Chains A and B, each alone.
Chain A
Amino acid sequence: MVTLGAIVLVIIKVLLALGVIMTAIAYITLMERKVLAFLQVRLGPNRVGPWGLLQPLADGIKLLFKEEITVAGADKVLYLLAPAVVMVCALLPFAVVPFGKGIVGESFLGIPLDQFDLGKGILADIDTGILFIFAISSLSVYGVVLGGWASNNKYSLLGATRASAQMISYELALGMSVVGVLLLTGSLSLVKIVEDQDWIWKWNCFRQPLAFLIFLIAGSAEVCRTPFDFVECENELVAGYQTEYSSMKFGMFYLAEYGHLLLLSSLVTTLFLGGWQGPILPPFVWFSAKVFFMLFFFIWIRGTYPRLRYDKLMHFGWKVLLPASLVNVVATAVIYSLYLGGKA
């Protein structure tokens, strides 16, 4: 029976999750600045609060009170719509990422927890989790293109076309590399994929090393991180499609960017590093620790590698990553069916 109480609990769970995600995104920006600073033997932000811990808050307040400029000749509706599209598309996929094991008892305050996935460590346990994530997160290309086109600026348009071509090119390799994992698990549900990796040698990064590598590379191209950050290639394009955005609209693009980074880290953790699986400590702690490690890894890469050249980036995506991921799919299928045949 659907009760009012259950709906209220769903809303509370959703708000809690959103609060955690937003806070995490805010502190990833601080973490990025701090880690980059230490990699470059600097101190990083350390004035606002102890160790600069209040910096994200200060940044947010500053952005909120900045004068908001709508550039002359902009397409007003699309100009407003673009950051909202990008932000929603960056946050929505978190609904199907399993962050913990199913929890506690049968009911809470007399409300049974067996409806609307209330008792599970995931907002929505749908059978097509991965498909949902790819569907929603690839929609954010629309936001990028709209934002670049609507701002009536040549740099924005150039940045947007480049960014969209890059995103769709690497999305292929990203999608194909996951097929290997799906073959082994036999399900599109992220919950099942995590449950399948219950021992460290069953983690998909060991069973699918090539797919893991392709996913890492294509993923960081997909979220436009260095060495693939052609979206805001500042010495050529000023700030790409964000050039004409100011105030909180820029803030939303910024939030979406780090939202995508967090999503990518959670996905790598879920698909290849065993998700919340781990001994002794509670599942959520394991999940957070692995995500934290992946975030650190991506920031580390940013601090280490220079940017590629655009033609090399496209060559690499189409001529190396895409064939490699297809070969990985075929190889996985052949080896796996040999293994299945040997067992039967």
Chain B
Amino acid sequence: MPESYVPIFVFLVVNVAVAVLIIALSTYLVKRKPTAQKLMPYECGMDPFGTARKRFSVKFFVVAMLFIIFDIEAVFLYPWAVVFKDLKLFGLIEMVVFIAVLLLGLFYAWKKGALEWQ
């Protein structure tokens, strides 16, 4: 029901208000005495060297791409699951084919070493 989104909206507004309030309180309530040492990024007691915004392993991008593929699969599965009773055998066979294709893709990525962390 569209009118059910009204409480969600109210809840969102209240939550954002609480978050802003907390940040504002902790910003204005406390006296700050910053020193250079205090504001230094933590690196186990040593002065930080180099940049902190380093490049990271390409593995993480591979994971992100695989995630998108399978998340889209999940997006297709949800409405199918809801109307499963009406689709009967047709829906079942079609979805089994769909899932089988994606499982094949997963095994291909597996064999190609996309899921390894070495």
Contact = CB atoms under 8 A, between A and B. Distances in A.
Contact of A71 (B39, B78, B117): B39
Contact of A18 (B15, B56, B82): B15
A156 B88 CA distance: 50
A66 B117 CA distance: 40
Interface string B21-45: 0110111011111101011111110
Contacts of A64: 25-26, 29
Given A84-B19, A182-B82, A154 B74 contact: no
Interface residues of A, number: 88
Interface centre among B59, B67, B110, B118 (most CB of A within 10 A): B67
Contacts of A88: 12, 15-16, 19
B42 A155 contact: yes
A190 interface: no
B40 A72 contact: yes
B29 to A, nearest CB: 7
B71 to A, nearest CB: 6
Interface string A316-344: 00110011001001100110110011000
A15 B14 contact: yes
A310 interface: yes
Interface in A138-187: 149, 151-158, 161, 164-165, 168-169, 171-172, 175-176, 179, 182-183, 186-187
Given A165-B59, A238-B42, A337-B84, 4 more contacts: A154-B52, A248-B22, A248-B25, A248-B26
Nearest 7 pairs between A and B by C-beta?
A: A248-B26, A311-B117, A182-B81, A84-B19, A72-B39, A153-B41, A168-B67
